[in-house]
């Protein structure tokens, strides 16, 4: 048995998982004939130290990349499965900062609260986009907290989208833990400090991109992100990932500069995308440029696949 198969040999958490699978099926079937579908993963996974979890290992990702990208995919006409960490940055809502909201409200005659004129002008286009997407039911919200929740849902979503290849796309922006504690080694109850200093051994998570590309979604356009902190190794690592998993695109980014530049790596080619000074002044988000580029490559991929299918017939 492959390592990744062992991971899925245990059952997923009941209830929420079955509901998510039903939602995925219904969403994909409803949209497949009308528009391309993208799975956007977003935010960081947690690794619990106890089954009744008090403590867990987490990472830095707030989910800004995934939430912003979701809005731009919707603009490009995609239906989006937004698989995100619970309570991470959310599309549309991200523009409304909770603290600022209190400053944005003023009391009207009769005691009713309303947005100030200035804030209303800012919020109105976001509200309109959100309402349009909601009416068209083009956004499916699925959430995870732990690494395990994430992996089960990733597999289910990929298998569902495979039914609608090649017009489905995976955009894997979530920051997924490389380490975990296997179910059998995890403490049932809160680890007691009275037992002295804590030594934890984290095992390596099986590389899920491997079955994802070759077994669960072989017909899909798969885009993964590679995160590094050392600029000297980014392209090398991104290229290695591409060669190892044989998917379509790796987007390399550095923790320190991820908001202004990324490198798109395909076989034999790497292309730096960097916001110009003018774009920064105009508050252009790098996700807008990334998503436009990914969509254009996805369109080419679809044309090639359809041509190949026609030739084969």
Which of 213, 227, 286, 290: binder of ligand 9Z3 (CB under 6 A)? 227
Distance separating alpha carbons of residues 238 and 56, to the nearest angstrom: 28
Interacting positions 254-283 with ligand 9Z3 (CB under 6 A): 258
Check binding of 248 to ligand 9Z3 (CB under 6 A). Answer: no
Q: Would you say 35 or 215 has its CB closer to ligand 9Z3?
A: 215
Closest CB 158 distance from ligand 9Z3, rounded Å: 13
Of 47-55, 90-98, 179-187, 218-226, the segment contacting ligand 9Z3 by CB under 6 A is 218-226
Check binding of 225 to ligand 9Z3 (CB under 6 A). Answer: yes
Three-state DSSP class for 299? helix
Q: How many residues bind ligand 9Z3 (CB under 6 A)?
A: 15
Q: Would you say 76 or 285 has its CB closer to ligand 9Z3?
A: 285
The H-assigned helical ranges of the chain are 3-7, 16-31, 64-75, 98-104, 117-136, 147-162, 209-211, 234-245, 277-281, 286-312
Which of 20, 175, 205, 264: binder of ligand 9Z3 (CB under 6 A)? 175
Q: Would you say 167 or 239 has its CB closer to ligand 9Z3?
A: 239
Q: Which two tokens stand for residue 65?
A: 């990349």
Distance separating alpha carbons of residues 158 and 154, to the nearest angstrom: 6
The contact pattern for ligand 9Z3, residues 58-87, with x = CB under 6 A and - = no contact, is ---xxxxx----------------------
Closest CB 172 distance from ligand 9Z3, rounded Å: 6
Cβ atoms of 39 and 160 closer than 8 Å: no
Q: At what angle do helices 64-75 and 117-136 cross, to 10 degrees?
A: 70
Closest CB 206 distance from ligand 9Z3, rounded Å: 12
Q: Can you name the residues that pair with 187 across neighbouring β-strands?
A: 50
253: phi then psi, degrees, rounded to nearest 5: -145, 150
Closest CB 260 distance from ligand 9Z3, rounded Å: 12
Q: Would you say 108 or 283 has its CB closer to ligand 9Z3?
A: 283
Distance separating alpha carbons of residues 257 and 229, to the nearest angstrom: 9
Cβ atoms of 63 and 258 closer than 8 Å: no
Check binding of 39 to ligand 9Z3 (CB under 6 A). Answer: no
Q: Would you say 32 or 62 has its CB closer to ligand 9Z3?
A: 62
Distance separating alpha carbons of residues 119 and 131, to the nearest angstrom: 18
Distance separating alpha carbons of residues 11 and 8, to the nearest angstrom: 7
Contacts of residue 284, defined as CB under 8 A and 6 or more positions apart, other chains included, come to: 275
Closest CB 289 distance from ligand 9Z3, rounded Å: 14
Sequence-separated contacts (24+) of 288-292 with Cβ below 8 Å: 288/68, 288/72, 290/69, 290/251, 290/262, 290/264, 291/69, 291/72, 291/73, 291/76, 292/72, 292/76
Of 2-10, 49-57, 123-131, 168-176, the segment contacting ligand 9Z3 by CB under 6 A is 168-176
Of 146-154, 156-164, 172-180, 267-275, the segment contacting ligand 9Z3 by CB under 6 A is 172-180
Interacting positions 89-148 with ligand 9Z3 (CB under 6 A): none
Site residues for ligand 9Z3 per CB under 6 A: 61-65, 172-173, 175-176, 224-227, 253, 258
């Amino acid at each position: 048995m492959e390592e990744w198969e062992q991971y899925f040999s245990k059952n997923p958490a009941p209830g929420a998982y079955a509901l998510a699978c039903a939602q995925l099926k219904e969403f994909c079937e409803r949209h497949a004939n009308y528009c391309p579908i993208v799975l956007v993963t977003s935010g960081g996974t947690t690794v619990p130290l106890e089954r009744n979890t008090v403590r867990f290992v987490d990472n830095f990702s707030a989910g800004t990349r995934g939430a912003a990208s979701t809005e731009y995919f919707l603009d490009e006409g995609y239906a989006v499965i937004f698989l995100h960490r619970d309570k991470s940055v959310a599309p549309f809502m991200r523009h409304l900062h909770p603290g600022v909201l209190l400053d944005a409200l003023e009391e009207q005659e009769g005691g009713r609260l309303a947005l100030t004129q200035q804030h209303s002008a800012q919020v109105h286009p976001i509200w309109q986009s959100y309402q349009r997407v909601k009416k068209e039911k083009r956004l499916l919200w699925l959430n995870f907290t732990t690494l395990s929740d994430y992996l089960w849902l990733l597999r289910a979503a990929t298998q569902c989208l495979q039914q609608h290849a090649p017009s489905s796309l995976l955009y894997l922006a979530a920051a997924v833990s490389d380490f975990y504690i296997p179910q059998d080694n995890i403490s049932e109850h809160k680890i007691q400090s009275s037992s002295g200093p804590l030594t934890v051994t984290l095992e390596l998570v099986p590389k899920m991109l491997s079955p994802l590309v070759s077994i669960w979604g072989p017909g899909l356009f798969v885009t993964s992100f590679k995160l590094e902190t050392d600029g000297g190794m980014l392209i090398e690592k991104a290229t290695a990932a591409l060669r190892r998993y044989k998917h379509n695109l790796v987007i390399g980014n550095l923790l320190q500069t991820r908001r202004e530049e990324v490198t798109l790596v395909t076989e034999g080619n790497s292309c730096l995308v960097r916001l110009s000074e003018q774009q920064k002044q105009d508050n252009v988000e790098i996700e807008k440029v990334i998503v436009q580029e990914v969509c254009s490559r996805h369109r080419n991929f679809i044309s090639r696949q359809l041509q190949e299918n026609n030739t084969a017939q």
